[in-house]
């Protein structure tokens, strides 16, 4: 029997955006599991667990279970890897009605350091709360859509 997964946990996985991590959903428990690339590599290479600290063994064991899963118990939360915050920023800017702010933000997001300049500008213009609300709502929409496509039940 499938159990629902917590929407906020999945949204958090996207917002945190840790490099070299992968997220899986245990559809039987609704648990969200985050593993590092190294933990998965160790599980793939079947290294002895004794070589690793106790705190890491549990995740390596989970990685083994995920790799050996033939029942479809674990689903790879691929949306996390497909999410593009830069595209979301561009969309947010396009939707702004104030043309001066729109122009200033479009200039700010060009080149290296775009994210830092964007964040500085939205604070300067007093629209930072508007951005973070927009971002969270869009991420929730994407997560809900992804869950529906993958037959994952969610709870708020």
Model pLDDT for residues 16-47, shown as the tens digit of each residue: 877 788 999 999 999 999 999 999 999 999 88
Cβ atoms within 10 Å, residue 118: 20
Cα 20 versus chain centre, distance: 12
pTM, 2 dp = 0.81
pLDDT of 12 > 80? The answer is yes
Count: domains in the chain:
2
Range of the domain at 129: 84-144
- pLDDT value at position 79? 80
The answer on 61 and 29 residing in a single domain is yes
Whether residue 9 is predicted with pLDDT greater than 80 in this model: the reply is yes
The average confidence (pLDDT) of the chain is 91
Of 31, 47, 80, which residue constitutes the final position of a domain? 80
Is residue 55 very low, low, confident or very high in pLDDT (cuts 50, 70, 90)? Answer: confident
CB-based contacts of 88: which residues, under 8 Å, 6+ apart? 135, 138
Same domain for 133 and 89: yes
């Amino acid at each position: 029997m499938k159990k629902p997964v917590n929407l906020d946990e999945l949204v958090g996985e996207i917002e945190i955006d840790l490099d070299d991590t992968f997220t899986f959903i245990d559809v039987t428990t609704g648990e969200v599991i985050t593993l590092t690339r190294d933990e998965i590599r160790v599980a793939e290479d079947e290294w002895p667990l004794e070589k690793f600290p106790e705190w890491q063994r549990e995740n390596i064991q989970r990685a083994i279970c995920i790799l050996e899963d033939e029942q479809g118990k674990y689903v790879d939360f691929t949306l996390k890897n497909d999410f593009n915050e830069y595209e979301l920023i561009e969309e947010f800017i396009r939707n702004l009605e104030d043309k001066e702010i729109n122009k200033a933000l479009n200039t700010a997001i060009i080149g290296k350091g775009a994210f830092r300049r964007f964040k500085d500008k939205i604070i300067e213009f007093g629209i930072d709360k508007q951005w973070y609300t927009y971002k969270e709502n869009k991420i929730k929409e994407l997560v809900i859509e992804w869950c529906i496509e993958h037959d994952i039940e969610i709870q708020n």
